[in-house]
Amino acid sequence: MPFVCAHNTSYVNYGEANESRGIRGTLARIHGTTLRGVANGAEDPGQVISALEDLRRSDIDWRNGRAFSLTYLATPEALELSERAYAMYAGENALNVAAFPSLRRMQSEVLGFVSELCHAPSGAAGFMTSGGTESLLMVSYAAKQRRPEVARPNIVLPTSAHAAFEKACAYFGIESRRVPVRADWRADAAAMRDAIDDSTVLMVASAPQYPQGVVDPIAELGDIALSRGVPLHVDSCIGGMVLAFLEPFAGGTVPFDFRIEGVTSISVDLHKYGYAAKGSGVIVYRSRELRDKQVFVTDNWLGGMYGSSGVLGTKSGGPIASSWAMINHFGREGYAKLAALTRATTLLLVDAITAIDPLFVMTKPDSTLICFGSADPAVPAHAVADALAARGWWVDRQSPPPMLHMTVSAHHDKVVDDFVAALRASVADVRASNATDGSSGAYGTVE
Ligand SMILES: Cc1ncc(COP(=O)(O)O)c(C=O)c1O
């Protein structure tokens, strides 16, 4: 029997034809729950919530540490606080903070906290965004706006830099000039220098990059950026709230932030290792002049002056309140403890993975991301991910080459033994099954 959706009956056919695929397949599978009533608008709040609880049962159990991707968990108390703060502000709108001065104040305090963490100089300025992708879109847009005379602008970036830069280049008509990384997966500074030309509007480095979890040679890239007069963005979306507390980065032995003169902007997400609800990132520029290039203002319509700092118009206060709550809950000291715990868990997991034949870790991580694979074609890495998923564990799949990826959270210290046992059992399952490849999955889906 097909699921009946009041608004879009094409779901019915798609669900029937693709029973096991993605969200639509899931909708088809849950036919028979109270969802039909929800779609018809006839359920009371209690029934709606219980329908949501039913829906959620098919999701990965990240609240109990079963996901090493997509989600971040510090403590159950912090999660509850974050969700309460979000709920309090879910309907407030940061599109116009004149109406919501509390949001203006929270945004400014969150920005101040992150700016201090990344050693922003006086005169630095920034904005909150909806997360990493919006930050990278906006920094790319600002770089293009800064050089209006360039007909065919390009961004020079390592092959490891986040996919959101491709999106930025596609949206804003910029050439993405990808430069192969070194054998240790870090950006090749000399090759990036050679790729720069008069139309280069931005260079990019990551701290760390997502795929292999290593930090690029940012000091070297900063020197090149200064000598060529090109802005350098450090994408620390996934690392900023961790590296700021971990040696050799925190003390400046291996600097990655504004302590490097050539760095002109840094992005740090609160909805990752800030443990805030989804929809929260920060971008900090070395100067207000650089920041102002990302701003959009128009009065070319009948509704009055429209000023906006990013892609969004209406912007929920939820992520802002959640970020503010997390920063006030943990503070520098709390985040330092979380970073130390998460790093220790990461290193434990690296040792445990390495001890399971035929798994190997691609490189020693600089932060809290692990990239690992299989040295035996009879145990394909992606088939191991399938076997883990069958046991209720979620790791990311990536390529090239086909590898697995884990984003470790503070809460994962509670599940190390269970995960390692599941991983060992999954390898045995794959060996026994004669799997040839496994499902390659996707980093992001289009549904
Ligand atoms: C280094 C890096 N940059 C950018 C992003 C994109 O962030 P978001 O998914 O919040 O848009 C990610 C996501 O993991 C990331 O790891």
CA 267 – ligand 1 centroid, Å: 10
Atom index in ligand 1 nearest the CA of residue 239 equals: 1
CA 270 – ligand 1 centroid, Å: 11
Nearest CA to ligand 1 atom 5: 132
Atom index in ligand 1 nearest the CA of residue 271 equals: 10
Indicate if ligand 1 lies below 6 Å from the C-beta of 237: yes
What is the rounded distance in angstroms from the CA atom of residue 326 to the CA atom of residue 344?
A: 22
Half-sphere exposure of 15 (CA within 13 A, CB side): 19
What CATH architecture is 332-433? Alpha-Beta Complex (3.90)
Indicate if ligand 1 lies below 6 Å from the C-beta of 235: yes
Indicate if ligand 1 lies below 6 Å from the C-beta of 164: yes
Judge whether 77-327 and 332-433 match in fold.
no
For 430-440, what is each residue's pLDDT tens digit?
999 987 777 87
Nearest CA to ligand 1 atom 8: 132
Indicate if ligand 1 lies below 6 Å from the C-beta of 131: yes
What CATH architecture is 77-327? 3-Layer(aba) Sandwich (3.40)
- Domain borders along the chain are 77-327, 332-433
For 316-341, what is each residue's pLDDT tens digit?
999 999 999 999 999 999 999 999 99
- 7 CB burial (10 A radius; 0-12, 13-18, 19+): exposed
CA 360 – ligand 1 centroid, Å: 25
User: How confident is the prediction along the chain (447 residues), in pLDDT tens digits per residue?
Assistant: 232 233 332 222 223 333 333 434 444 444 444 444 556 777 899 999 999 999 999 999 999 999 999 999 999 999 999 999 999 999 999 999 999 999 999 999 999 999 999 999 999 999 999 999 999 999 999 999 999 999 999 999 999 999 999 999 999 999 999 999 999 999 999 999 999 999 999 999 999 999 999 999 999 999 999 999 999 999 999 999 999 999 999 999 999 999 999 999 999 999 999 999 999 999 999 999 999 999 999 999 999 999 999 999 999 999 999 999 999 999 999 999 999 999 999 999 999 999 999 999 999 999 999 999 999 999 999 999 999 999 999 999 998 889 999 999 999 999 999 999 999 999 999 999 987 777 877 778 877
Nearest CA to ligand 1 atom 6: 132
25 CB neighbour count, 10 Å cutoff: 18
Assign 324 to helix, strand or coil.
helix
Residue 123 backbone class (left: φ over 0; alpha: ψ -120 to 50; beta: rest)? left
Q: What tokens does 311 get? A: 């892609």
What is the rounded distance in angstroms from the CA atom of residue 317 to the CA atom of residue 50?
A: 26
Indicate if ligand 1 lies below 6 Å from the C-beta of 133: yes
CA 162 – ligand 1 centroid, Å: 7
What is the rounded distance in angstroms from the CA atom of residue 144 to the CA atom of residue 159?
A: 20
Atom index in ligand 1 nearest the CA of residue 210 equals: 16
Nearest CA to ligand 1 atom 9: 132
CA 60 – ligand 1 centroid, Å: 20
